Amino acid sequence: MITILWVDDEIDHLQAHIRFLRKRNYEVISASSGREALEILKSIRVDLVLMDQMMVGMDGLETVHEIRKSYDDLPVVMVTQSEEEELMDKALAGTIADFLTKPVNPSQILLVLKRLLESGKLKMNRATVEVISETEKVRHSKTNTLEDWTGLYSSWMEKDISLGGELDHRLKGIQGGGLDQVEMGFSRFIEKNYPNWIASPESAPLMAHNVLERKVIPELLKGKGEVVFLVIDCMRYDQWLLMAKSIEHWYHREPGFMVTGLPSATPYSRNSIFSGLVPRDIWRFYRTHWIEEYGYPGLNSYERLLLGNALGRLGWRTGKDVVYAKASTRQEGDNLKRGLSHFLKDGFMAIVVNFIDHLTHGRSELDLIRDIAPDVSAFRRLASGWFEHSFLFEMIKTLSARGATLIITSDHGSTQANRITTISGARGMSHSVRYRFGHSLKADPKHSVVVTNPGDWGLPDDNPRKTYLFGREDFLLMQNGFRREDMYKFKGSFQHGGVSLEEMLVPCEVLRPKKYRG
């Protein structure tokens, strides 16, 4: 039950109002002075205070000042004789939550109480009903499209963020309500459609291997100013939603999604982004540079070369070397920010920012990061907190002042992997835990997408027995006899490479600078 403390030196005159609130299941405690109210707060849990401004002895504002010494977040509603500007300022500053002007009527009080104490619950209930309805519609449709999946995912994330991450927790307590319940349907959708998208480029959605052609080249060919192509490694859509709030003052967003390449991992998807090719064709055309071998470390070493060749092939050349930069540390980012005029002398540059990827992998290695960000909501806030104080945020504001157009995307997202499925195969299997490749691999098809025809999936097909496995939902792909320390390290970690909404549906937005008129 919600408890209200009503403070007024003429409290006996308010008994009708108090009875009205009690009939609506509010517990109302009364106090006839500020001193009495402070004593009550020491021993009784109170959800909101209704405070008369004009009282004998300690007045309302003095009482609020004393309350704030011990209770920063306790909502206080001031009841006043007139709409004084000082009270408006305090309400806006957060010292008081709201104010009511005498004479107050019961419906006014009830409205303020519901807004301050129950709006979150009402929003949660409405969001829960809406998301479950959207989920059931997509899950049970036999003709769902990519737009259905992106619509469900974006609606889910936007609502969860607006409710502080509580929606996801609420839905997991409802049978069939959690996001993990729809992941199997999404993986089956990808399993059915991904080879068709590779085979029929004209009907394919926006994907890693066509984003240059469909998003970057059109902006370059307009010739209307500087263009920056920014790839934030391992950025999830929900992380971007929080980060994007910080830049809406400087840029107008044109929202959209991109489907990552498979595996949804940097060596494959990001090379596809910069080459304009699927991994199968990167392997065929750049065999001396892009060597897909077990543990080969240099698959992302030739992105500048791939990008330059792709831009030329797609019809845009500057006549000079393409400017490509990568920022993995604060110092590299600051150097990049200071050198923008030099880097943009030909009007275009591509940038890779690796911090979120480092954060994601660091969480698997360091218990400290895992403790700071134990779940999805905390992890997105950690990424957003970094962004708000990063060189990247400052650089984006500088680019807006320059009038530069931004195209922002990611090479893949990540998903929190909590379940383990056992796989088997010949010796020499790759070691990633959300995807594997090797000879004659076997796995439970309920837990992983099994690809025995890699070429049809745009993947290197250098051996007739070659198999790829992609984890469905939140499954980790572990070999028989996996070590206990591996289970501890990876279970609950954020991983990528598999087939899930969070890994494969990443933001791809064009940001257009806003002009300042001052």
Whether residues 170 and 214 fall in one domain = no
Whether residues 350 and 387 fall in one domain = yes
Average pLDDT over residues 220-242: 95
In a domain, 327, yes or no: yes
In a domain, 66, yes or no: yes
Model confidence over 395-410: pLDDT tens digits? 999 999 999 999 999 9
Burial class (CB in 10 A: 0-12, 13-18, 19+), 189: middle
Whether residues 429 and 292 fall in one domain = no
Whether residues 225 and 146 fall in one domain = no
Model confidence over 440-469: pLDDT tens digits? 899 999 999 999 999 999 999 988 889 999
In a domain, 167, yes or no: yes
**According to the model, what pLDDT value does residue 29 have?**
94
For residue 196, the surrounding DSSP H or E stretch is helix 180-199
CA distance 231 to 255: 15
In a domain, 197, yes or no: no
Whether residues 325 and 378 fall in one domain = yes
What's the CATH code of the domain at 313?
3.40.720
Lookup: tokens for 88:
């408006």
> Which 3 state secondary structure label does DSSP give 56?
coil
What's the CATH code of the domain at 93?
3.40.50.2300
Whether residues 485 and 461 fall in one domain = yes
Give me the percent of the chain exceeding a pLDDT of 90. Answer: 59
Whether residues 275 and 374 fall in one domain = yes
In a domain, 356, yes or no: yes
Domain boundary residue, one of 104, 137, 156: 104
Domain boundary residue, one of 104, 129, 150: 104
In a domain, 344, yes or no: yes
CA distance 20 to 32: 19
Q: Which residue has the tokens 């009007």?
A: 347
pLDDT band at 476 (very low <50, low <70, confident <90, very high): very high
Handedness of CA 42, 44, 50, 56 (dihedral sign): negative
Whether residues 224 and 318 fall in one domain = yes
> Would the pLDDT of 94 be above 70?
no
Model confidence over 28-78: pLDDT tens digits? 999 999 999 999 999 999 999 999 988 888 888 889 989 988 888 899 998
Lookup: tokens for 359:
């954060």
Whether residues 476 and 341 fall in one domain = no
> Would the pLDDT of 177 be above 60?
no
DSSP character string of 462-488: -STTEEEEEEBTTEEEEETT--HHHHH
Q: Dihedral, CA atoms, 496, 185, 410, 213, nearest 10 degrees?
A: 130
pLDDT band at 301 (very low <50, low <70, confident <90, very high): confident
**310 or 136, which is more confident?**
310
Lookup: tokens for 232:
């934030």
Whether residues 427 and 309 fall in one domain = no
> Which 3 state secondary structure label does DSSP give 128?
helix
Whether residues 391 and 455 fall in one domain = no
Domain boundary residue, one of 104, 135, 164: 104
In a domain, 401, yes or no: yes
> Would the pLDDT of 91 be above 60?
no
Q: Show Cβ contacts of residue 2 under 8 Å, excluding neighbours closer than 6 positions.
A: 25, 26, 27, 47, 48, 113, 117, 118
> Would the pLDDT of 176 be above 60?
no
Q: How many domains does the chain have?
A: 4
Whether residues 241 and 372 fall in one domain = yes
Domain housing 167? 118-178
> Would the pLDDT of 173 be above 60?
no
**According to the model, what pLDDT value does residue 318 have?**
65
**According to the model, what pLDDT value does residue 86 have?**
67
Q: Which residue has the tokens 């403390």?
A: 5
pTM comes to: 0.83
Handedness of CA 298, 300, 302, 304 (dihedral sign): negative
In a domain, 192, yes or no: no
**According to the model, what pLDDT value does residue 161 have?**
86
Burial class (CB in 10 A: 0-12, 13-18, 19+), 85: exposed
Lowest mean pLDDT, pick from 188-197, 198-207, 279-288, 319-328? 319-328
Q: How far is CA 513 from CA 220, 246, 344, 396, 404, in A?
A: 16, 14, 16, 10, 7
